[in-house]
Amino acid sequence: MTSSDPNNKLPIEANNQATDKADKSSTTTSTNKNTADNSHNYPAYSAPSTSTSKPSWLWLLPLVLVALVIGIFAGRLWTQKQLEADALETKKSVSPQIATTTGVTEIEKEVIQKPVLTVETIQPEPAEMNNDLVADGTISPENTSSVSGKVNGVSLEQVLVKEGSEVKKGQVLAVFDTDAIQQQIIQAQAELAEAESNYDLAKKDAERVLPLLEIHAISQQEADRYVATANQAAASVAAAKARLNNQNLTLKNAKVTAPVSGIISQKNADVGNVPGPEPLFTIIENGQLEWQAQVNPDKVGNIKVGSLVEVSLPNNRSVSGKVTRISPTAEEGSRQITIFAALNKSPYAKAGMYQRGTFKLGSQNKLTIPVSAVVTEDGYDYVMQVEAIETEDNEEPTYRVSRVKVVLGERQGDRVELVEPLKSNNPIVRQGGNFLTDGDVVRIANSQDANISSNSSTNTKI
């Protein structure tokens, strides 16, 4: 009979279950020990996380976008307000304009403008202007003479002059050593005496022999031999005389003399030196100097032979002279014409100086303005011309300036030539034009003396 209690098992089944539990318990204990040992020696393995973390700065992007939008909006608002302010300022300072066939013309409207400067005005005036021409040039000797030694292979014994010495024609400048020359002269004299003695003997022999030829005591051939000997002796005498004369000339040339009168400008002679082929001395003939000026070809036409010149020298000195000749050709490269002017003698003018000079070409009456009235800008010259502005009867007279381009000529002192007269008779600003611009309103200090008319095309009121 089978029991319903699960615990009521057969002895065999109970024994089997006990055995299984014991095995499981042993397996579990062994497993736990292995696990404990493994956890002590090696860390537990964990798989890497596959989820990616987000950057920490991404939360700033919305703030940057908001700030950028606010900046763009504020910039547009500021620009619009600035344009409105500029337009309002333009309406206040500029009068309305209407378009015509000839351009834009201002129409009559009251504009608030105040004078920016009080100026003094003047009119262009005629003045005596010199036609002098200024040029640069070199002071050079008009003529020079070179003195060379005529004795070869002999040293100099004396040098009697230096640079700057004034010499006369024929004056001794240097002397060569003459000891050897004198010995050569003595030798030449002896050779001449010997030649003359031989000639006398040969001549006498010929004179004694020739009468014997007439009586046929000697042959013609013998007589010719005596005559030839006499002639050879005569030739030897002539040659000895020539050698003696040559030695005497060498002795004379041992003294170096000046070929012309003048001033020693260069010396290459020193005591004891044996001169070479170069000159011993260079002499400025009569000490005459000339000024060689370089002039543009377009200005040479006003210069004539005989025109006066004045050349400046150091320490506020000058020397005058006259034009002696004009070069017929231009210098290669510079294309300048050389003008030669002989200078008067001056102890302060020296050869080789590079000085500025003036050609005195007379004077002429020309229209001029003060240099202070000229305004130079971008390489062009202007003046500020003044014209009156129509005002109410009870208001102070006011004037407007306009910049006018001018062509200027030579400047002398504080005035400059006005080549082309102004189209209007209105005066110009005397000075201070650099502080004014075209269209500025000014007040005139000498308005009671100025004859100023208003521009008919401008009806602007103040």
Name the CATH architecture for the domain at 151-267.
Orthogonal Bundle (1.10)
Instruction: Tell me the residue type at 431.
Output: Q
123/427 Cα distance (integer angstroms) = 5
The residue ranges of DSSP E strands in 307-362, in sequence order, are 308-313, 317-330, 337-343, 354-360
314/268 Cα distance (integer angstroms) = 29
- Residues paired with 368 in a beta bridge: 125, 417
* Burial of 256 (C-beta count, 10 Å sphere; 0-12/13-18/19+): buried
Along the chain (462 residues), what's the average pLDDT of each consecutive run of 10 residues?
42 43 43 41 46 60 82 82 69 46 44 77 88 91 92 89 93 90 89 90 85 81 86 91 89 91 92 89 94 91 91 94 93 90 93 94 88 92 88 70 91 88 90 89 72 49 39
Residues 176, 149 contacting (CB under 8 angstroms) = yes
What pLDDT was estimated at residue 285?
A: 93
What pLDDT was estimated at residue 53?
A: 52
CATH topology of domain 111-128+365-444: 2.40.420
What pLDDT was estimated at residue 35?
A: 40
The pair of three-digit structure tokens given for residue 41, joined into one six-digit string: 């020696």
- Which of these, 365, 366, 361, lies nearest to 407 by C-alpha position? 366
Q: Which residue has the tokens 């003047």?
A: 122
How far CA 370 is from CA of 52, 122, 383, 432, 447, in Å, comes to 87, 9, 10, 12, 19
What pLDDT was estimated at residue 96?
A: 45
Residues 6+ apart with CB under 8 A from 249: none
What pLDDT was estimated at residue 391?
A: 64
What pLDDT was estimated at residue 211?
A: 84
What pLDDT was estimated at residue 239?
A: 92
The pair of three-digit structure tokens given for residue 64, joined into one six-digit string: 């940057």
Question: Coil, strand or helix: which one is 166?
Answer: strand
The pair of three-digit structure tokens given for residue 148, joined into one six-digit string: 């060379």
What pLDDT was estimated at residue 450?
A: 56
393/166 Cα distance (integer angstroms) = 84
What pLDDT was estimated at residue 112?
A: 53
CATH number for the domain formed by residue range(s) 284-363: 2.40.30.170
What pLDDT was estimated at residue 94?
A: 46
H/E run at residue 411: strand 408-412
Residues 367, 410 contacting (CB under 8 angstroms) = no
The residue extents of the domains of the chain are 61-92, 111-128+365-444, 151-267, 284-363
Measured in whole angstroms, how far is the alpha carbon of residue 181 from the centre of its chain? 58
291/340 Cα distance (integer angstroms) = 6
